[in-house]
Amino acid sequence: MACNSTTLETYEYLLLNASNGSDPGTAPLPAPLRISLAITMLLMIIVGFLGNTVVCVIVYQRPAMRSAINLLLATLAFSDIMLSLCCMPFTAITLVTVRWHFGDHFCRLSAMLYWFFVLEGVAILLIISVDRFLIIVQRQDKLNPRRAKVIIAVSWVLSFCISVPSLSGQTFVEVPARAPQCVLGYTELSVDRAYVVTLVVTVFFVPFGVMLCSYLCILNTVRKNAVRVHNQSDTLDLRHLTRAGLRRLQRQQQISLDLSFKTKAFTTILILFVGFSLCWLPHSIYSLLSVFSRRFYYSSSFYSTSTCILWLSYLKSVFNPIVYCWRIKKFREACIELLPQTFQILPKVPERIRRRIQPSTVYVCNENQSAV
């Protein structure tokens, strides 16, 4: 009887640990490190929410800014906002307490929302990359605001259809006992493994391959255009200019200006692609190993590994506004304009006076040069 009582107590203890999210086989990070990561994640939520909200506000308040590329960037910002608000706070709480407080059903819902918003963000990056490829390489600027809205709506529907099996129970999603967030756990069912492969390939590997090929072609085209413009400028004799030569010079200057703008805009999109790759390559490999490798999933270091990789995947939603602030002048000016006057150190200078101070500035605003 004493032996049976001890066995029963041990079994109850294991069940209690499992329900509290502290699996005896896991090794959570030390408390100071977990608290530091949680505080950092809260700062990421604030920065990601405010920075991406500025993008949405700019496009919403200014009709002149509602070009196709800006609508895509606003959709990307909105998906990052929803990811920051719907998933990151619960991960931060679980990271501190090492326990999931929100139930099994919300676990599946949070996993579905996580993949849903990530898929939408990746889809928008893919659309922007293909659009830049068509404009710069193929010289086909076919994406107008109306078509952009249709493509955005289709991308939302497809992202929902791909991510919804996590909610419907058609795949194995475990309540966080081995991770600070609901994750795709180890399974030997072929259907679940096929779904995970489809999900990871759709989220990372296919978009990464398409975007990489697009950017390589764009880089090659930009290099060739720069060499051609430089060679034509060298062969032009300014001492014997005719009307035809003057028109040719003006056309070359316009091409050079357009090439400079496209190169700068492309560089910004390329930086976003690099950030996406660095943040999501580890998570994609981690997801495949979790489902296919029993040894990896039940290892003592799985909790700490999943914590670091999930934190890195959330970093992408904060990375984009930082790039906008670094690369895009209009974004910085909009941030200053949206600040309350009590927080503005320097007085606001009217645009009319700024033009007088810098009369040599060229003001161009069209479909291709009105990006946020």
What's the predicted TM-score (pTM) here? 0.77
- Euclidean distance between CA atoms 253 and 247, whole angstroms: 10
In the prediction, which pLDDT does 362 show?
39
pLDDT at 158: 94
Specify the higher pLDDT residue, 342 or 293: 293
Pick from 323, 290, 286, 292: nearest CA to 308: 286
Average pLDDT over residues 95-123: 87
Residue 367 near residue 70, CB atoms below 8 Å: no
> What pLDDT, in 10s, does the model give residues 188-220?
888 888 888 998 999 999 999 999 999 899 888
The 3-class SS string of 188-238 reads CCHHHHHHHHHHHHHHHHHHHHHHHHHHHHHHHHHHHHHHHHHHHHHHCCH
Interval 299-353: pLDDT, tens: 888 888 888 888 888 988 888 888 888 887 777 777 777 766 544 554 555 545 4
Whether 75 has a pLDDT exceeding 90, the answer reads: yes
Whether residue 58 has pLDDT greater than 60 = yes
* Mean pLDDT of the region 120-144: 88
Chain CA centroid to CA 357, Å: 38
Provide the pLDDT for residue 253: 53
Higher pLDDT, 149 or 266: 149
Q: What does DSSP assign to residue 240? A: G
Share of the chain above pLDDT 70, in %: 70
- pLDDT at position 230 is 59
| pLDDT tens digits along 352-362 | 544 444 444 43
pLDDT, residue 4, reads 44
Share in percent of the chain as helix, strand, coil (round to 5):
75, 0, 20
Output the pLDDT for position 345. Answer: 52
* Bridge-based pairing state of the strands 173-174 and 183-184: antiparallel
Residue among 330, 354, 355, 273 nearest 59 (CA): 330
β-sheet bridge partners, residue 183: 174
In this structure, of 145-149, 248-252, 298-302, the range with the lowest mean pLDDT score is 248-252
pLDDT band, residue 25 (cuts 50/70/90):
very low
Is the model more confident about 107 or about 197? 197
Q: What's the confidence (pLDDT) of residue 308?
A: 86
Superfamily of domain 29-234+258-336: Rhodopsin 7-helix transmembrane proteins (1.20.1070.10)
**Residue 245: band (very low, low, confident or very high) from pLDDT cuts 50, 70, 90:** low
Q: Where are the domains of the chain?
A: 29-234+258-336
Judge whether residue 159 has pLDDT over 90.
yes
